[in-house]
């Protein structure tokens, strides 16, 4: 059975962006199934997109609509992310999972980024 859930960013648990928790601490506190998404860049830069979380054979879809800085944490084996920048500025996207880090950077309104981490 597949579980599909659509949520807006306002309904997700969010915390202000902070570098206080490094990937080593995230890994040791939550194990290999914790995924952290950090979206930074020029403060106030707007973005929207979709994130798909793969967890225990289920798939959860979430719509994102927010601004920099944003930090989201998910539990799962993998993540597929697609973001579009909606205002001037820049976005720096980092995904931390199991002690590993994947990142991408875009600049300019209409720029799009896709990341997939398993």
Which has more pLDDT, 82 or 6?
82
Q: Look up tokens 């994947």; give the residue.
A: 102
Non-local (6+) Cβ contacts of 8 within 8 A are 63, 65
Closest CA to 58 of 113, 94, 4, 20: 4
Tell me the per-residue pLDDT of 41-66, one tens digit each, with 9 for 90 and over: 999 999 999 999 999 999 999 999 99
Residue 12, pLDDT > 80, answer no
Residue 11, pLDDT > 90, answer no
Tell me the per-residue pLDDT of 103-116, one tens digit each, with 9 for 90 and over: 999 999 999 999 99
Cα angle 42-34-53, degrees, rounded to a multiple of 5:
80
Residue 84, pLDDT > 50, answer yes
Q: Which domains does the chain have, with CATH numbers?
A: 9-117 (2.60.60)
């Amino acid at each position: 059975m597949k579980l599909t859930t659509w949520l807006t960013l306002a309904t997700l648990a969010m915390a202000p962006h902070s570098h206080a928790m490094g990937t080593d601490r995230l890994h040791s506190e939550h194990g290999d199934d914790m995924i952290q998404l950090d979206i930074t860049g020029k403060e106030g830069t707007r973005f929207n997109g979709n994130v798909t979380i793969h967890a225990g054979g289920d798939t959860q879809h979430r719509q994102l609509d927010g601004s920099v800085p944003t930090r989201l944490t998910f539990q799962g084996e993998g993540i597929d992310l697609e973001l579009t920048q909606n205002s001037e500025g820049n976005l720096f996207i980092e995904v931390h999972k199991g002690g590993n880090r994947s990142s991408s950077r875009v600049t300019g309104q209409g720029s799009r980024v896709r990341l997939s981490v398993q």
